[in-house]
Chains A and B, each alone.
Chain A
Amino acid sequence: ASPRPQTAYSFHRTYLTNLSLSAELLDDILREKPQEADGIDSVVVVDNVPQVGPERLEKLKNVIHKIFSKFGKITTEFYPEADGMTKGYIFLEYAAPTQALEAVKNADGYKLDKQHTFRVNLFTDFDKYMNICDEWEAPEKQPFKDFGNMRHWIEDPDCRDQYSVIYEAGERTAIFSNDAKEPIINEERARWTETYVRWSPKGTYLATFHQRGIALWGGEKFKQIQRFSHQGVSLIDFSPCERYVVTFSPLMDTKEDPQAIIIWDILTGQKKRGFHCESSAHWPIFKWSHDGKFFARMSTDTLSIYETPSMGLLDKKSLKINGIKDFSWSPGDNIIAFWVPEDKDIPARVTLMQMPSRQEIRVRNLFNVVDCKLHWQRNGDYLCVKVDRTPKGTQGVVTNFEIFRMREKQVPVDVVEMKESIIAFAWEPNGSKFAVLHGESPRINASFYHVKNNGKIELIKMFDKQQANSIFWSPQGQFMVLAGLRSMNGALAFVDTSDCTLMNIAEHYMASDVEWDPTGRYVVTSVSWWSHKVDNAYWLWTFQGRLLQKNNKDRFCQLLWRPRPPTLLSIDQIKMIKKDLKKYSKIFEQKDRLSQSKASKELVDKRRAMMEEYRNYREAALQNYQEQKNLRLELRGGVDTDELDSNVDDWEEETIEFFINEEIIPLGDL
């Protein structure tokens, strides 16, 4: 579901909400209170400023001014020169020492461009450093901002996963713990976000959107961990390691100071680098390697790969790849896959490149290509390239799946030819199967393939005439849901792919979304207010397709499961637990039975109490009614109307016969 667009009304509400943060604003302003001090304390020295001649000086001053006036009012600036060029360092004086401190804190390390990273210091620091005493004094301890246990939710003794719910058309956001009986509320806030929310990849942070930027929340009480100021932010992306967050705003960009995309360090809150961005149509623009070591983006004929934490280009230059159409990182290794279309007599190519060495691991030529899509299996074990081709001499488009076996020597490629147009494709997350929806409504088929070790790709099963347009695998593999969302009215099919059986067929009318919980035990189907204005609700199912709950929420918009961090258990430990599973399941079953019977007992007690209360009320009312009988008789001139048969004597009974049917039965010759 897509978030609703900003309207004038919500903009206005934003303004009011910001005003209500006045407590924090006041704090900022109070700090700005002018104090008696040396003018010297308000001066900063900026080093690594570009050295320019007089013709570019004005422009340089504008850029510097724009960057540094963010921290306060610049009252004086001085650009020392030598031989007609600026020296490369400048002095800026602010209106108050606090502003100078802000400048040092935020602009030091700011990367203006490839060759110039600002070094900002207080003028007084030079003095200080020159007069450093020989004896070293330990630095003063900063008070530690303790946010508590950031992984608190994982310690839930009943292993309940959390999920966020946005409802009341975005006015309320709540966090629930998932229990099969009913959701347990953890936190609920009005206007927590202005559009939607996002969880970080390991579940540590909840990101909310505001006109001024984004905020990250976490810990047991969802306190605000960090705030990133990016006016008009509309999209974000996290690095897989949760160290960085990337924000995009269509408002901010200027030619000199790229601000459309900003990469932030989450722990320190610092802005690491800003980038230009022409169009946010294919977000995320920057794609991260699985370990967060690299991030890359594609532009015309170019692939730019950056490394962390320096945020600089790998090897200080981008890769020139003529005609590059698309790329993606392997989710398991630092390998990039990209493809280029045909160029005169050079066929289209898919290339696998190792990073950081840039070694080409595998190149695959493809002919008569119309389009390609890259689908990685979640562990990086396989890459599927969906190739749409127009074979020579034909007009139509056929599709092949080129399956790259990444774990085998020299990455062999197998081809699966598809006869029909493809609606959806999805790898089993940690396995070697994939599912395909193909054909055209109403004849849509679901096919399941297994990539076997012996070099073959086997079609395990095909279900025909499915009402499905989307595939949702369980994150643990094996189970999946085929769903017909939106225009297909919410048809659901729950499949066990170990033997390709249909476990259950069900329907959530007008469902717009399907979300698996991170453990693969539960599935949520939902009808979002963003796509359908009535019956907004989310339903909870077991992985087998048994409906557990229907949760109606006024103008429900979005449900997102909180991701789990990767397990801390070693493979051996997991093996041990699986071996002892019977022992554990006995204990859990007992626990479940206890809580079930407790729930039943509670329900029974509640019902008994309600019935008793109701009976008492009815008895009293009836007594009253009987006491009023005379009054009623009076009103009705002595006619008793209390019972249907109170006046049987007045009834007239009439018997009517009417013709229904005529049947002629020959009795044979008599």
Chain B
Amino acid sequence: HKCFALVKDVKVFVSTEDNQPYLSIPCSEHKITSAVWGPLGEFVIAGHENGEINQFSAKSGDILKKIKEHTKQINDIQSSVDNTMFITASKDNTAKLFDSTSLDHIKTFRTERPVNSAAISPIMDHVVMGGGQEAMEVTTTSTRIGKFEARFFHAAYEEEFGRVKGHFGPINCVAFHPDGKSYSSGGEDGYVRIHYFDPQYFDFELEV
């Protein structure tokens, strides 16, 4: 199957009920696994099966910029609340922070398991990551009760400072609430867990 990035103009779709995409960007080699809009809607940032990240122009579909910082598939891309930067979650056991416009690589967060999803806190210098094994690999590994964890890293120091247990299976999706006071995670176990941070979370500081 060929792979396409489809850009739909939501406004047009609603008014004309025409199901046709506004722009269709073919992508033949490595399929696109995740994508977000650029800050001013001028381009789409897409992550690929092989770890590549490309900026596709939303007008022409041309590649404006391309980088390859990850070595394996990109599972998720999420933007910061102001769209100035985005975080990628990859099968290569890392998540990376990039500048949306320049695609400069800013930070790397390392774990020992594939990262399925990552998000940037709207109000703190924190990122949250969730992951685990691919569903079909979870046969004998870590079927311990509730031991799949969401992991919190400090965005500037690249150091992990906290973990939240609770999921029975790998975490597929994480997201911060827009007000930054809670986060949610969805997992292979079929549960969505909503966590509100306690006051200590906002006061916490790594030794400087």
Contacts and interface: CB of A to CB of B under 8 A. Distances in A.
18 contacts: A532-B141, A603-B207, A604-B207, A607-B156, A607-B208, A611-B156, A614-B125, A614-B155, A615-B156, A621-B82, A621-B84, A621-B99, A624-B84, A625-B84, A628-B39, A631-B40, A635-B41, A642-B82
A604 B106 contact: no
Contacts of B178: 644
B112 to A, nearest CB: 5
A632 B82 CA distance: 11
B128 interface: no
A143 to B, nearest CB: 48
B112 A535 contact: yes
A598 interface: no
Interface of A: 509-510, 532-535, 537, 552, 603-604, 607-608, 610-611, 613-615, 617, 621-622, 624-625, 628, 631-632, 635, 642, 644
A628 B206 contact: no
B118 to A, nearest CB: 17
Interface string B85-96: 100000000000
B160 to A, nearest CB: 11
B157 interface: yes
Nearest to B180: A644
Secondary structure of the B contact surface, majority rule: loop
Contacts of B82: 621-622, 625, 642
Contacts of A617: 99, 106
Contact of A607 (B84, B106, B206): B206
Interface string B19-53: 00000000000000000000111000000000000
Nearest to B208: A607
B57 interface: no
A256 B84 CA distance: 79
B179 interface: yes
B84 A622 contact: yes
A81 B91 CA distance: 77
Nearest to B133: A534
A617 B113 CA distance: 29
A624 B40 CA distance: 12
A610 B84 contact: no
A635 B40 contact: yes
Given A604-B207, A621-B99, A610 B158 contact: yes
A516 B179 CA distance: 50
A537 B84 contact: no
A533 to B, nearest CB: 8
A353 B158 CA distance: 65
Given A535-B142, A610-B156, 19 more contacts: A509-B144, A533-B141, A534-B141, A537-B112, A552-B112, A604-B207, A604-B208, A607-B156, A607-B157, A614-B125, A614-B155, A615-B156, A617-B106, A621-B84, A621-B85, A622-B84, A625-B39, A632-B40, A642-B82
A510 B179 CA distance: 40
A533 B40 CA distance: 44
B89 to A, nearest CB: 18
A510 B156 CA distance: 33
Contacts of A624: 84, 101
Contacts of A621: 82, 84-85, 99
Nearest to A645: B179
A623 B206 CA distance: 27
